[in-house]
């Protein structure tokens, strides 16, 4: 079988390389010429652990190629759609222009029997609408079908999650579509025993936003507990350990701190709520507005803490921010809590020096007025306050004893509760965790 992947961002590029790695001849199509050129030369346009070698190897083998020419999908048996669905500029809803444009661009080139498999995260009802569009607009004599196959990969683990997902969801309208998808994913289904959930189109679309809503709710739940712990003088990390031992709750996604960000969780809960409203079921998801509010409050809380630690006025105060990407092992700064905090401090007049191992190039595009330091040590030099906001291993490994003499004032706010309080306090620092005494 031959595969095409439309949209070669974080999802699509890794999916395309994964498909090639599984032995399928694969073409990745994107409208971004620079991105396509870079990918075609075997170099990744973004940082994702383990991706570069697979990309280089598959492009080199000739099994994987990238183009801006949509007619190159003409021999594809399966065409995956992985273009962006960002939040609209003027509302909480998802911007569907990219998905609609991608489907309009491939439809004239689809071959008879092709399966279009949507992977982008979309408002429920999109798949049915696109299925009708494809059925009505394929060339004379061509019958093509549409399925929805949502993607659950995590950035930082994208390669592993693409090749060995926890589960597969096939939203289909025919046995044939299910059979094609089972063939595509035969490797993981047979070797890993990956569970497959076969369902209708709207259920497949909803599984994706339901999963992200649950994850976001879990994080905001523990951050709400952090607020209570702060008020009561309790420790949210111990609380999370204790409730997490209950297998029904589980410890994962109970790390309290500055909250969730990224190109998925924040915009997905908002788009889901907006769509529920359109369906007349907005009341069912009112709690997601609270989840969002708790999350935003965490960022504000860190800025407030910084202001208090610096005596009430941030103007002219030198602050080191460790972290720019929305999570470690990624260069993605979309809706990054670290950058939101750094930006707010800067707007309040602080002199902010940011360091991140991989996210600084992207950060500088979004926040060009912040100062970017070439190393963590240089960000810290002369700082009156250090704020740790993205828990890269490199930051966990910092030696507080070696750094204590380089700052003007040894105070650290650990916005991820990931540094060792005893170690930092033992080295002479004032350590402030979130939701911890
Ligand atoms: N990033 C993730 O971890 C992840 C995981 C699961 C699902 N998703 C979902 O997958 C989708 C893509 O996310 P992403 O993070 O890869 O986004 P991204 O912004 O990194 O990539 C999107 C790509 O689509 C391209 N594009 C836009 N319009 C196009 C068109 N008409 N034709 C061809 N290409 C076009 C863009 O140039 C860009 O390269 C979103 O719906 C997102 O919610 C993302
Ligand atoms: O206990 C936790 C866990 C995560 N986070 C934060 O939550 C955000 C999202 O983290 P994560 O979910 O690991 O990253 P993503 O790569 O955005 O992945 C999510 O979004 C993707 C896109 O939809 C889905 O495919 C994934 O399954 C889903 O986990 C990040 O800012 C994390 O710092 C916390 O604050 N506390």
Domains of the chain, with CATH numbers? 2-199 (3.40.50.720), 233-437 (3.40.50.720)
Mean pLDDT for the stretch of residues 402-420: 98
Check whether 188 is labelled as a binding-site residue.
no
What is the share, in percent, of the chain residues with pLDDT greater than 70?
100
Which residue is catalytic, options 11, 172, 181, 264?
264
- Number of the ligand closest to the Cα of 271: 1
* pLDDT of the residue at 51: 98
pLDDT at 229: 98
**DSSP category for residue 8:** -
Report, as an integer, the average pLDDT of 107-133.
98
Q: Is 255 annotated as a binding residue?
A: yes
Determine the pLDDT at residue 73. 98
Centre of ligand 1 to C-alpha 184, Å, is 21
Listed residue (295, 377, 278) closest to 341, CA to CA: 295
Smallest CA separation from ligand 1 atom 13, residue: 84
Q: Which two tokens stand for residue 84?
A: 């962006």
| Half-sphere exposure at residue 56, Cβ-oriented, CA atoms within 13 angstroms | 6
> Mean pLDDT over residues 383-395, rounded?
98
* Nearest residue (CA) to ligand 2, atom 15: 154
84: pLDDT confidence band, cut at 50, 70 and 90? Answer: very high
pLDDT of residue 396: 98
Q: Which residues line ligand 2 (CB under 6 A)?
A: 121, 151-155, 212, 215, 219, 253-255, 257, 259-262, 264-265, 268, 326-327
Q: Are 386 and 322 in contact (CB under 8 A)?
A: yes
Mean pLDDT estimate for the chain: 98
**Do the Cβ atoms of 120 and 86 come closer than 8 Å?**
no
Distance, in Å, from the CA atom of 393 to the CA atom of 380, rounded to the nearest integer, reads 17
**According to the model, what pLDDT value does residue 271 have?**
98
CB 414 within 8 A of CB 389: no
The string of DSSP codes covering 30-77 is -S-HHHHHHHHTT--SS--TTHHHHHHHHHHHTSEEEES-GGGGTT-S
ipTM of the predicted structure?
0.99
Q: Is 335 in the pocket of ligand 1 (CB under 6 A)?
A: no
Helices (H), 279-399: 286-309, 337-347, 360-366, 376-380, 393-396
Mean pLDDT of 208-227: 98
Continuous H helices in 62-169: 97-106, 126-137, 158-163
pTM above 0.90, yes or no: yes
pLDDT band at 46 (very low <50, low <70, confident <90, very high): very high
Task: Count the helices and strands in the chain (H runs, E runs).
Answer: 18, 14
**pLDDT for residue 188:** 97
Mean pLDDT within 298-310? 98
DSSP code, position 283: G
Residues 6+ apart with CB under 8 A from 242: none
Confidence of residue 276 (pLDDT cuts 50, 70, 90): very high
Give the pLDDT confidence score for residue 417 in this predicted structure. Answer: 98
Q: What is the average per-residue pLDDT within 89-118?
A: 98
pLDDT at 239: 98
Element (H or E) spanning 213, and its range?
Answer: helix 201-232
User: Ligand 2 pocket check: which of 154, 302, 335 to mutate, most ligand atoms within 8 Å of Cβ?
Assistant: 154
Residue partners of 214: CB distance under 8 A and separation at least 6: none
Q: Ligand 2 centre and the CA of 260: distance in Å?
A: 7
264 catalytic, yes or no? yes
Average pLDDT, stretch 147-170? 98
88 is in an annotated binding site: no
What's the confidence (pLDDT) of residue 18?
98
Any ligand 1 atom below 6 A from CB of 331? no
Structure confidence at residue 394 (pLDDT): 98
Is residue 30 a known part of a binding site? yes
Q: Residue 261 to residues 30, 127, 264, 323: CA-CA distances in angstroms?
A: 25, 26, 8, 13
The average pLDDT across 356-385 equals 98
């Amino acid at each position: 079988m031959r595969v095409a992947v439309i949209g070669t961002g974080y999802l699509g590029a890794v999916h395309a390389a994964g498909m090639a790695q599984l032995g399928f001849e694969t073409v990745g199509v994107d409208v971004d010429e620079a991105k396509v050129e870079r990918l075609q030369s075997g170099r990744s346009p973004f940082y994702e652990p383990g991706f570069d070698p697979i990309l280089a190897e598959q492009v080199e083998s000739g099994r994987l190629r990238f183009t801006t020419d949509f007619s190159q999908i003409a021999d594809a048996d399966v065409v995956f759609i992985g273009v962006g669905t960002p939040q609209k500029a003027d509302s909480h809803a998802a911007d569907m222009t990219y998905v609609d444009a991608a489907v309009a661009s491939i439809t004239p080139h689809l071959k008879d029997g092709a399966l279009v498999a949507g992977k982008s995260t979309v408002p429920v009802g999109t798949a049915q609408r696109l299925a009708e569009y494809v059925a009505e607009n394929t060339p004379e004599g061509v019958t093509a079908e549409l399925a929805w196959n949502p993607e659950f990969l995590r950035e930082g683990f994208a390669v592993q999650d693409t090749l060995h997902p926890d589960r597969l969801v096939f939203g289909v309208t025919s046995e044939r579509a299910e059979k094609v998808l089972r063939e595509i994913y035969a490797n993981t289904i047979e070797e890993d025993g990956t569970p497959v959930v076969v369902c209708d189109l709207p259920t497949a679309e909803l599984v994706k936003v339901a999963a992200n809503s649950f994850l976001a709710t879990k994080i905001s739940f523990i951050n709400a507990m952090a607020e209570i712990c702060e008020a009561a003088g309790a420790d949210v990390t111990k609380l999370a350990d204790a409730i997490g031992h209950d297998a029904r709750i589980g410890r994962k996604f109970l790390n309290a701190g500055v909250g969730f960000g990224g190109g998925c969780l924040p915009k997905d809960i908002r788009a889901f709520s907006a769509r529920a409203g359109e369906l007349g079921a907005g009341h069912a998801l009112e709690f997601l507005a609270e989840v969002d509010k708790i999350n935003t409050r965490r960022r504000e809380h860190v800025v407030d803490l910084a202001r208090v630690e610096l005596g009430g006025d941030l103007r002219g105060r030198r602050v080191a921010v460790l972290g720019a990407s929305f999570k470690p092992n990624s260069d993605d700064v979309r809706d990054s809590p670290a950058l939101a905090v750094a930006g707010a401090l800067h707007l309040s007049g602080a002199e902010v020096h940011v360091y991140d191992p991989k996210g600084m190039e992207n950060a500088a595009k979004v926040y060009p007025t912040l100062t970017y330091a070439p190393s963590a040590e240089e960000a810290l030099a002369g700082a009156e306050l250090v704020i740790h906001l993205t828990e890269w291993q490199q930051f966990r490994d910092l030696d507080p004893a070696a750094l204590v003499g380089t700052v003007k004032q040894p105070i650290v706010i650990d916005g991820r509760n990931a540094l060792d309080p005893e170690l930092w306090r033992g080295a002479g620092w004032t350590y402030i965790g979130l939701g911890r005494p």
